[in-house]
């Protein structure tokens, strides 16, 4: 009994200490948990959006199995996404340029364009990988396509200036596939990620059409410009620009906001680049 009471005292004291630390740091002391975007709900929205776009290949999220039609499914998505956007703005403290309902309407209007882009991505993967026996295999099996499908959805919310939610979406894809594409990156048509594990694509990266990237590639920042307090400056160009018809092989690293890879280039495996490359070039690692 004495040990039990001792444990209760320890537990109570630890909880109080944790609460005190939380109140003293940068976390919002009085944050209403109802206003914090719910990661589980956002993941459900992802799954239902994938199911809406490709109903025969992606399953509904848990709780949406009994939806009778695609119209009902989209209405369900709309209602849940509105609530998450409300929470994201309330928690983030960012002024809204439009109502959550207006933002959801704008996002829904973009879904046909997203599906058209994803169809082209499927085609690029199928045509570019001799191991792919059919287009359906790409949809069902390929982590590269899974990550791209989530990225393209998240990117549209990002361009609508919805806070937090796009990042939750792409980090979920990162968790599931090992592919880290920031929602702010700009990616053209017919994008092919082969294998994919360990790929990192930064927020201000731009990628042209018909680009193929292998596992372990980093499109990152060379260095961070600092403000007067020594903190990294945000919202500036930090990541490279990749032209059209470029192939980047495994474990290549391309860094810097001023680094431009021209059209029709081939970047060999294990290459480290911090300077621009003229179009039509082949760059390879040489000891």
Closest CA to 45 of 71, 70, 64: 64
Predicted pLDDT at 1: 63
Predicted pLDDT at 84: 95
> Domains, the chain, ranges and CATH?
34-178 (1.10.3130.10), 198-287 (2.160.10.10)
Predicted pLDDT at 169: 98
Predicted pLDDT at 69: 87
d(CA 260, CA 257): 8
Parallel, antiparallel or unpaired: strands 186-187 and 206-207: parallel
Residue 3 CB burial class (10 angstroms; 0-12, 13-18, ≥19)? exposed
pLDDT exceeds 60 at position 28 = no
Give tens-digit pLDDT for 53-94. 999 899 888 777 677 689 999 999 999 999 999 999 988 777
d(CA 53, CA 116): 10
Give tens-digit pLDDT for 115-137. 999 999 999 999 999 999 999 99
pLDDT exceeds 70 at position 35 = no
Give tens-digit pLDDT for 161-188. 999 999 999 999 999 999 999 999 999 9
- Give the pLDDT mean for 209-236: 86
**pTM check: above 0.85:** yes
């Amino acid at each position: 009994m004495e040990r039990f009471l001792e444990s209760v005292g320890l537990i109570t004291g630890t909880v109080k200490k944790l609460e005190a630390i939380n109140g003293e740091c940068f976390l919002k002391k009085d944050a209403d948990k109802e206003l914090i975007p719910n990661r589980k709900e956002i993941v459900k929205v992802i799954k239902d959006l994938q199911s809406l776009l490709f109903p025969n290949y992606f399953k509904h999220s848990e709780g949406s199995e009994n939806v009778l039609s695609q119209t009902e499914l989209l209405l369900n998505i709309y209602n849940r996404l509105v609530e998450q956007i409300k929470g994201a703005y309330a928690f983030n403290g960012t002024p809204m340029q439009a109502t959550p309902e207006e933002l959801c309407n704008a996002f829904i209007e973009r879904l046909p364009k997203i599906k058209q882009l994803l169809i082209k991505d499927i085609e690029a993967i199928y045509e570019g990988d001799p191991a792919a026996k059919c287009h359906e295999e790409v949809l069902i099996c390929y982590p590269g396509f899974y990550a791209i499908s989530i990225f393209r959805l998240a990117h549209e919310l990002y361009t609508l200036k919805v806070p937090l939610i796009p990042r939750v979406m792409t980090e979920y894809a990162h968790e599931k596939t090992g592919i880290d594409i920031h929602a702010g990156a700009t990616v053209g048509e017919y994008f092919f990620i082969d294998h994919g594990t360990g790929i990192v694509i930064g927020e201000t990266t731009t990628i042209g059409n018909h680009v193929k990237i292998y596992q372990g590639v980093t499109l990152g920042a060379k260095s961070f410009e600092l403000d007067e307090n020594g903190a990294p400056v945000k919202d500036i160009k930090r990541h490279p620009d990749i032209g059209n018809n470029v192939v980047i092989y495994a474990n290549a690293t391309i860094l810097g906001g001023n680094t431009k890879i021209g059209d029709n280039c081939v970047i060999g495996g294990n290459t480290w680049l911090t300077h621009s490359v003229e179009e039509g070039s082949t760059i390879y690692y040489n000891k």
